[in-house]
Structure 1
Amino acid sequence: MARAAVASGDDDKLWAVLREALRFSPPRLMLARSCGQGHHLAQGTADEVVVPAGTTVVVATAAAAFDPARVDEPEHFRVDRPEHPDFLFGEGPHACVARQVATAAIREACKALLGHEFHLSGPLRRDGGRPISFPVGLAPLRAAG
């Protein structure tokens, strides 16, 4: 899907594929913030919580991308899904100021990479059982046929 978008020069389709892939595997799973002043979360609902000033709040941003109240069929990979900029770049006063730059950088890097085949170019290094180095080489993409 992504390679087809690159081959056809469809940057919007490529970004839709990448955005949905990043929803499934985001660069950050959660973030922590310190509450500067007391705040009511979910005020007026059965889930209301008062967060006192100075409290560290951990937000599971990756979980929000799979919240069925916000995302239709969250378990399905759908490139026709409406964009939720807050999933990747935040919103409000903590929104990423470099969103347009980041979007372009991600898309252009993937365009360059998707025009190649990948192969293991050296030994896989491990720390215990966990891989810590996975050297990859690139070769020009061979035409299908």
Structure 2
Amino acid sequence: MGVDLLNVKGLQELDQNAPVVMVNLMRFRERSLDGDGSGWDAYLRYSALTVPMIKARGGTLLWTGDAKAVALGLEAGNTWDYLALVYYPSVAAFIDMMTSADYETRCDPHRTNGCAEHVIIATREAYSKFRVA
């Protein structure tokens, strides 16, 4: 799992200037692949490096939290450990971060070491009680 899984083609079909909220679904490894603590520990290292990169591009974390239970639908394949909603002012800002050499060399190894699975879903706002921008 790495940035090679980034769906650049699909992202490029979106309006590059439109704001986007990325829904992150994560399932952690019991032990980090590099042997340095748990999968959660590796994810915390990833976050410490990535959040400043998000903010430098005008983005922000909107919400993070533990996934507790599948409330509706099939449980198989839908159990996650952690979720994060991350706002970017544009799809282009997200692509810029994810394809940067800094992200690929400094951040992504921690994500890969910590996450057994990490799915990111690009969303377009249909309704929001909150206005980010």
- Scaled by the length of structure 1, the TM-score of the pair is 0.25
Whose Rg is larger?
1
RCO comparison, higher one (Cα < 8 Å, 6+): 2
TM-score (norm 2): 0.27
